[in-house]
């Protein structure tokens, strides 16, 4: 494998009908399925340099969540519950069984909930830079991201920042990649959100983060999957980076102390979108973990 981080994504787009809309995905390889689930504001493109490491021995599938990437944008609220319905519909539509989930950002809550609800159909879960339990306080966020995300969650202000000013795509995304992103890469990430109405899913996500008891529905879901992560014997792989963003030293220690059957690997220097900083280390770590498992 090359050590370069390529902007190219030479795969054939595929689509499947889910709940009356088309969801986009890409796949390569054959064997038991490994499903890669992205978060906000990315797409299957996030995994382009990771999936080749898995496709040699498994069927690597990376989807675009509903309303994101090349998937359709139906007129829905784009809550966590909405995304959960479409994700589980996607898995059913493709007839996926004995799945290994690889999740990032909001892909974590979606994947964890899917595994909790269908444990017999999930072989293992690898996760990075995601939500593993509710945030009891804003104090768990660093000062810079705290004020920014509080703004995103403020009515009218948040809509203006995310939808009108495109701050999440144009600033948060490249600002959370240590190497920066090339213009070619940014063009791919911007493409699904060319006009304000298409940015609704991006705006909804920060408002769904379970912080200080709000929103109640997401907090309840996060409490459930946090409990499941602590009691399920399903193999788990936590991929961390330095300094990281959502998962820092304290949360790493909590995971190591509380999650059953957990392996933890640091893949190098990275912030939040570590697939853009350490894709080869991530891909090789997942491949090695799958081989041993």
- Out of 27, 64, 82, 129, the active site residue is 129
Strand-pair partners of 270: 243
CATH number of 14-142+206-292: 3.40.50.1820
| pLDDT tens by residue, 56-98 | 999 999 999 999 999 999 999 999 999 999 999 999 999 999 9
- What's the pLDDT at 2? 58
- Rounded to an integer, the average pLDDT of 271-292 is 96
Name which of 14, 132, 148, 117 is nearest 69 in CA terms: 14
Cα 273 from Cα 245, distance rounded (Å):
9
CB-CB contact of 261 with 233 (8 Å): yes
Could you confirm whether 38 is annotated as catalytic?
A: no
Helix axis angle for 80-94 and 107-117, nearest 10°, is: 60
Q: Does position 145 have pLDDT exceeding 60, yes or no?
A: yes
Strand-pair partners of 121: none
| pLDDT tens by residue, 217-241 | 999 999 999 999 999 999 999 999 9
CA–CA distances in Å: residue 179 to residues 1, 174, 203: 20, 9, 25
| pLDDT tens by residue, 9-65 | 989 999 999 999 999 999 999 999 999 999 999 999 999 999 999 999 999 999 999
- Rounded to an integer, the average pLDDT of 161-170 is 96
Give just the sign of the alpha carbon dihedral 224, 229, 231, 235. Answer: positive
Q: What are the strands, taking DSSP E only, across 76-235? A: 99-105, 122-130
Q: What does the block give as tokens for 293?
A: 């498992």
More confident residue, 42 or 292: 42
Q: Hunting for tokens 């961390």 — which residue is that? A: 240
| pLDDT tens by residue, 252-262 | 999 999 999 99
| pLDDT tens by residue, 170-223 | 999 999 999 999 999 999 999 999 999 999 999 999 999 999 999 999 999 999
- Rounded to an integer, the average pLDDT of 129-137 is 97
End-to-end Cα distance, the chain: 22
- What's the pLDDT at 1? 56
The helix (H) or strand (E) run that includes residue 266 is strand 262-270
Q: Hunting for tokens 């830079």 — which residue is that? A: 129
* Residue 144: pLDDT band with limits 50, 70, 90: confident
pTM of the model: 0.97
* Residue 3: pLDDT band with limits 50, 70, 90: confident
Q: What does the block give as tokens for 82?
A: 């909405």
- What's the pLDDT at 141? 87
* Residue 102: pLDDT band with limits 50, 70, 90: very high
- Chain centroid to CA 246: how far? 12
- Out of 272, 276, 280, 281, the active site residue is 272
User: What does the angle CA 131 – CA 39 – CA 204 come to, to the nearest 5 degrees?
Assistant: 90
Could you confirm whether 105 is annotated as catalytic?
A: yes
- What's the pLDDT at 93? 98
Strand-pair partners of 128: 104
Three-class SS state of 283: helix
Give the alpha-carbon dihedral of 270, 177, 210, 265, to 10 degrees. -20
Q: What does the block give as tokens for 225?
A: 């999957």
Mean pLDDT for the chain overall: 96
Could you confirm whether 129 is annotated as catalytic?
A: yes
- Out of 27, 64, 105, 208, the active site residue is 105
Domain boundaries, the chain: 14-142+206-292
- What's the pLDDT at 142? 80
- Rounded to an integer, the average pLDDT of 281-293 is 92
Q: What does the block give as tokens for 245?
A: 């963003």
């Amino acid at each position: 494998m090359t050590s370069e981080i390529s902007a190219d994504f030479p795969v054939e787009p595929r689509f499947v009908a889910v709940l009356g809309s088309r969801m986009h995905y890409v796949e390569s390889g054959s064997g038991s399925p490994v499903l890669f689930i992205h978060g906000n504001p990315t797409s299957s493109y996030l995994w382009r340099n990771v999936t080749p490491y898995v496709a040699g021995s498994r069927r690597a599938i990376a989807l675009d969540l509903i309303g994101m990437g090349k998937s359709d944008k139906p007129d829905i609220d784009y809550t966590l519950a909405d995304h959960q319905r479409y994700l589980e519909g996607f898995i059913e539509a493709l007839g996926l069984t004995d799945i290994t989930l690889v999740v990032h950002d909001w892909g974590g809550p979606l994947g964890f909930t899917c595994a909790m609800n269908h444990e017999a159909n999930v072989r293992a879960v690898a996760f990075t830079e995601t939500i593993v339990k509710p945030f009891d306080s804003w104090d768990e966020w660093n000062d810079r991201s705290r004020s920014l995300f509080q703004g995103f969650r403020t009515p009218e202000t948040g809509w203006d920042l995310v939808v009108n000013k495109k701050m999440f795509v144009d600033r948060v995304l490249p600002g959370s990649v240590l190497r920066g992103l090339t213009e070619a890469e940014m063009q791919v990430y911007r493409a699904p959100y060319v006009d304000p109405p298409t940015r609704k899913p991006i705006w909804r996500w920060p408002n769904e983060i379970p912080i200080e008891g709000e929103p109640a529905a997401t907090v309840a879901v996060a409490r459930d999957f946090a409990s499941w992560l602590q009691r399920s014997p399903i193999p788990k792989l936590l991929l961390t980076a330095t300094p990281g963003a959502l998962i820092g030293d304290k949360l790493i220690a909590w995971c190591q102390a509380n999650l059953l059957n957990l392996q933890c690997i640091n893949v190098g220097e990275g912030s939040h979108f570590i697939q853009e900083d350490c894709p080869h280390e991530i891909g090789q770590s997942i491949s090695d973990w799958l081989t041993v498992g």
